[in-house]
Structure 1
């Protein structure tokens, strides 16, 4: 029973925009959503990846909540777990990971067969699927190009939970394919030189960094943290 309770508490914290939409934190996610939309007025960004310099900085929580608030706006959203080494999206949404993105890329399943509905209306989830021996090769394959085409035919917005930039090359590969990238920074944890290296790596991949989310920033005794979005 304790394990189930802990799991529910973790999901409530991770999916605050869905489970506590009137909270201050949920409102901050909606502010980030608005700023993303303002940053791409001339050309709507329909494929976005969220990443960080290193692990444990909150990228997966951020992208999950962004997916929720975009879906709440009425957009048909697909959240893709593109972290093919340490996937977490299936945990966040209590889904299976026996099939997913890797199943689609290796042509074991069609996209519509691998996608599952979430508890949030308009939000669909594609877990990573079985962890492959060659994540970078899969993400840079022609199958991934086809995936983008098929996903954009079906969904208004595709959000990718990408691996940390400095850990592997996967994020750079994905960044080159997406309309924009969002970099999550953990206050008091992310080192400045690593953040700069992450930014340089994304720019080297010709990625458009549309903003930075500052995570876990303490503001006062009544608030645990907030999220700040700003352009680079």
Structure 2
């Protein structure tokens, strides 16, 4: 049950703006932090249901800014392979309880932070050669699954696209297209699984202006704020929320 009170909006408004900034200007990789933050206050399924329409709205807003600036040859296999990944996520949702999803969301959050720290510290070597079609298919399945269970498809997509040596604009445009497509795929099973309710839809209506505002800010921040500063804040948020979600799931 979702209660649209002051405590909910105190978390939901900044989380929505933050997700919009990420999707609009920084490759979508950190947008799932919004779902992790909301899952601290509401059932994980409710958090997923609130965030998906908002993420789809951000996708539409971002598509206009980056329209046809992507490289279709680089993203098409990921999009095609996203469908079976979404199907796997839907199958898990039907048999798992809320604590499983709290643990998954928390674990993915901490894994994202750990990967980025190890990569930036040179402990994980960057790919020396561009990844090929098989890697693109694995990326798509992984992104579809993690996106379904926690809106966290960004990291595997980032790893693949960065290995391809794309310029900043083509990379950003590609992530916008990929997650627009995957989020559309998720909408139908979310509907059938009862993840959307009248309360989540009302919350989306009230939060929609903040989603658009965040995306608008992200498009502009793309050229003004360093990725290092933005993701530094992201890592702190994900570490705190991920740890709390895992603790709640286990206790």
**Fold similarity call, TM over 0.5:** no
Q: Which has the higher helix share?
A: 2
Could you say which structure has the greater relative contact order, defined with CA pairs below 8 angstroms and 6 or more residues apart? 2
Question: When the two structures are superposed, what TM-score results if normalisation uses the length of structure 2?
Answer: 0.25
Q: Which has the higher strand share?
A: 1
